[in-house]
Amino acid sequence: MAAPTTTADQVLDPHPTKEDNYFTAEKGVLSWIFTLDHKRIGVMYLCSVMTMFALGGLFALLVRIEHWTAGPTLDFVTPDMYNQFFTLHGAIMVFLVIIPGIPAALGNFVLPLHLGAKDVAFPKLNLMSYHMWLLGAAFLVLSMVLGAADTGWTFYTPYSTTTTTAVIPALFGAFILGFSSIFTGLNFMTTIHKMRAPGQSWFRLPLFLWAIYATALIQVLATPVLGITLLMLIVERGLHIGIFDPALGGDPVLMQHFFWFYSHPAVYIMVVPAFGVVSEIIPVFSRKRMFGYKFIALSSVAIAGLGFLVWGHHMFTSGQSVVASTIFSSITFLIAIPTAIKTFNWVGTMYKGRIHLDTPMLYALAFLWVFTIGGVTGIFLAVMNVDIHLHDTYFVVAHFHYVMMGGAITAFFGGLHYWWPKMFGRMYNEKQGRIGSIGVFLGLNLTFFPQFIMGTRGMPRRYYNYLDEFQDLHRLSTIGALLMGVSFLFTAYYLIASLRKKHDAPMNPWGATTLEWTTTSPPPYYNFHKTPPVTQGPYDGYEKLWYDEKVGGYIEKKKD
């Protein structure tokens, strides 16, 4: 990619006209709500996703605090409410935060910039998918008001067709969110296929885009099945058609097949974009070319493909046949290969690099540590007989959160800090950023590591009360959750505080060589004044960039 060719003076004053900043290009609330600009849509996604993250986090904290003692702890949390809290926590975090988090919020902002394009292929569809996200979120919130669903985010029959809580609004909300996700994936896939800058071959794409592409593949191929599953569940619950309801001759295990055909690939919708973010951060902050670029790129696609063949490993105890369980279990082991390839290459990239421990890099390192634990415990669970023992225990909860929270959310925050200067044109306080990231990392491990131990000792998930012997470990976990909560609040504080400063972000604060850093921070309405030609790989040319004190960022080295 062309390294920035701007002089220091230009970088210091990057906003000569108001069109040069997508924030000021148009004014008024309506110009945001009906914008077709992918950057604004990305920012709106970001704000909405963060709001939902706070809400989902609040439910998580309530669940954790309830576990402070073995019996009832909080006066106002009844067992039924406890069920609703973990359902809402799960549904919000999965459907409203993690799935749209990296692809829709960060991806929307970064993807066209990475391609040197002016926008995504279908801007109106992009806006529609955001509006559908809002509508879906509204339905989920509505279900909270109407007596929140208590089925868990998996909506298993026959409980979901017989419980008296408001399951249909929650199902309908998830249905709409599914279509929002499909349209985002469809849009991104088309964009990557058709909107690449001249010279940008597939193997010159930043790895973030490979990850987004693999994610979009899953979104397009798997999410429709979720759509029909939820629709069938809504109809089953509303009209009792007897496809999933055993009392009417239906098959509840079939429902689980339907659900996991989507939802196992969906965990890759959640985590593959995280791989992409980490792949962007690590070479930049190691000042070193990506090690094994093609392997990382293709392993994303391999994960997406293999992810379709393993859904039955969620159903080892459901009544699924032994034949199917065996097939699913063995394929599950294969997933470890592309994932390990990635981890190996990230570590290989850092080896002998000049590592800068800035906030995004700290998040990426946290990701490596935490995700490896999460991934390896996933292999434990893929072993059928081990899974029979660990199924529905806190071990599964811990595994899932190490991957989702430690993987997807950590990478999301890494990416947020990495692209924050580009999105908003402001640098956050670096020192506070480092403190926040360390707080998140410690809180995360403190919360979920004790849960592994509890799980192996037989603490079942989704229980309101528990045996006294687990109390110490539960308390450790709760303390960790509170620490994490405080760290996230602190992060929100310094990020918002940075917005109150005046523009101070240079074009290229980290010395990256992907295309988004060749335009101003924040970018102009049309992203680039000229479609940037691509002449080198996305992680080449770090040696040409030098840090300039006066600019506060990196500029191209002068030939003198």
Partner 1 sequence: MADKDDDTTEEEETESSEEETEESSSEEADTSDDDDSEDEGSDDGDTQEDDPEKEFFEPAPAPADHEHEHEGHDDHDNPMGHALPVKMLGGVLGLLLVLTVVTVAVTYVDLGVLNLAVALLIATVKAGLVVTVFMHLKWDKVLNTFAFVSSVLFAILFVSLAMTDRSEYQKDIDSYIEDNPPAEPAAPAPAAASAAAPAAPAPSAH
Partner 2 sequence: MSQTTADAHGDGHDDDHDHYPVNEYPYVAHHFDSPEHQFEAGKFGIWLFLVTEVLFFSGLFCAYAIYRAMRPEVFEYAHYYLDKNLGALNTIVLLVSSFTAAWAVRAARLRQKNLLMLLIVITIGCAFTFMGVKYFEYSHKFHDQLLWGLNFNPAHPAWELPSFQAKHPELYAKIQEALAAGGPEAAAKVMPQPANTHVFFSIYFFMTGLHGVHVIGGIVVWIWMLIKAAKNQFGPKYFGPIDFAALYWHLVDLVWIYLFPLLYLIS
> Which residues in the 18-57 window bind partner 2 by CB under 8 A?
19
Contacts of 528 (CB under 8 A, 6+ apart): 116, 118, 515, 518, 519
Q: Which does 159 bind (CB under 5 to 8 A by kind): partner 2, partner 1, none?
A: none
The nearer residue to partner 2, 369 or 526, going by C-beta atoms, is: 526
Residues 6 or more apart whose CB falls under 8 angstroms from that of 236 comprise: 157, 161, 242, 243, 244, 245, 250
Q: Are 509 and 553 a contacting pair, CB within 8 Å?
A: yes
Q: Does 319 bind partner 2 (CB under 8 A)?
A: no
Length of the chain: 560
Residue 232 or 368: which CB sits closer to partner 2? 232
In whole angstroms, give the CA distance from residue 411 to residue 367: 6
For residue 222, state whether it binds partner 2 (rule: CB under 8 A).
yes
Comparing CA positions, the residue from 534, 487, 489 lying closest to residue 514 is: 534
Report cis status (omega within 30 of 0) of the bond before 522: yes
Residues at the interface with partner 1 (CB under 8 A): 161-162, 193, 221, 225, 238-240, 242, 245, 247-249, 251, 253-254, 257-258, 261, 308-309, 312, 319-324, 327
Identify what 12 binds: partner 1, partner 2, none; CB under 5 to 8 Å per kind.
none
The one of partner 2, partner 1, none whose footprint includes residue 243, by CB under 5 to 8 A per kind, is: partner 2
> Which of the 8 DSSP states describes residue 537?
-
Please compute Rg for the chain using Cα positions: 23
Q: Is 220 in the site for partner 2 (CB under 8 A)?
A: yes
Partner interacting with residue 44 (select from partner 1, partner 2, none; CB below 5-8 Å by kind): none
Name the burial class of residue 252, with classes exposed (0-12), middle (13-18) and buried (19+) by CB atoms within 10 angstroms of its CB.
Answer: middle
Residue 40 to residues 130, 439, 527, Cα–Cα distance (Å): 11, 30, 12
113 contacts partner 2 (rule: CB under 8 A): no
CB of 245 to partner 2, least distance (A): 8
Which of residues 58, 61, 123, 135 is near partner 2 by CB under 8 A? 123
- The rounded distance, in Å, linking the Cα atoms of 404 and 406 is 6
| CA 487/CA 444 separation, integer angstroms | 10
Residues within window 491-530 making contact with partner 2, judged by CB under 8 A: 524-526, 528-530
Among the residue ranges 85-93, 110-118, 146-154, 478-486, the one whose residues contact partner 2 (CB under 8 A): 110-118
The amino acid at 102: I
Q: Considering the rule CB under 8 A, would residue 79 count as an interface residue with partner 2?
A: no
Stretch that binds partner 2, among 142-150, 226-234, 286-294, 358-366 (CB under 8 A): 226-234
Binding partner of residue 72 among partner 2, partner 1, none, CB cut-off 5 to 8 Å per kind? none
Whose Cβ is closer to partner 1: residue 218's or residue 423's? 218
Question: Could you give the angle at which helices 207-239 and 108-115 cross, rounded to 10 degrees?
Answer: 140
Residue 233 has, within 13 A of its CA and on its CB side, a CA count of 33
For residue 539, the minimal CB distance to partner 2 (Å) is 23
Q: Which is nearer to partner 1, 335 or 373 (CB)?
A: 335
201 binds partner 2 (CB under 8 A): no
CA 97/CA 412 separation, integer angstroms: 10
Which residue shows structure tokens 């997508």? 22
| Piece of the chain touching partner 2 by CB under 8 A; list 12-20, 263-271, 449-457, 536-544 | 12-20
486 binds partner 2 (CB under 8 A): no
Binding-residue total with partner 2 (CB under 8 A): 54
Q: Which among 105, 279, 112 has a CA at the least distance from the CA of 181?
A: 105
CB nearer to partner 1: pick between 54 and 146 = 146
CA distance 187 to 124: 10
- Does residue 6 belong to the site contacting partner 2 (CB under 8 A)? no
Among 318, 429, 531, 536, binds partner 2 (CB under 8 A): 531
Q: Of the ranges 3-11, 49-57, 186-194, 314-322, which one interacts with partner 2 (CB under 8 A)?
A: 186-194
Sequence-distant (≥ 6) Cβ neighbours of residue 372 within 8 angstroms: 343
Q: Would you say 552 and 427 are in contact if contact means Cβ atoms under 8 Å apart?
A: yes
- Residue 209 binds partner 2 (CB under 8 A): no
For residue 533, the minimal CB distance to partner 2 (Å) is 8
Closer residue to partner 2, CB minimum distance, 188 or 395: 188
Cβ neighbour number for residue 317 with a 10 Å cutoff: 12
Q: Half-sphere exposure of residue 205, counting CA atoms within 13 Å on the CB side?
A: 27
Q: Which residues bind partner 2 (CB under 8 A)?
A: 16-17, 19, 112, 117-123, 125, 182, 186-187, 189-191, 193-195, 197-198, 220-225, 227-229, 231-232, 235, 239-243, 248-251, 254, 258, 524-526, 528-531, 533
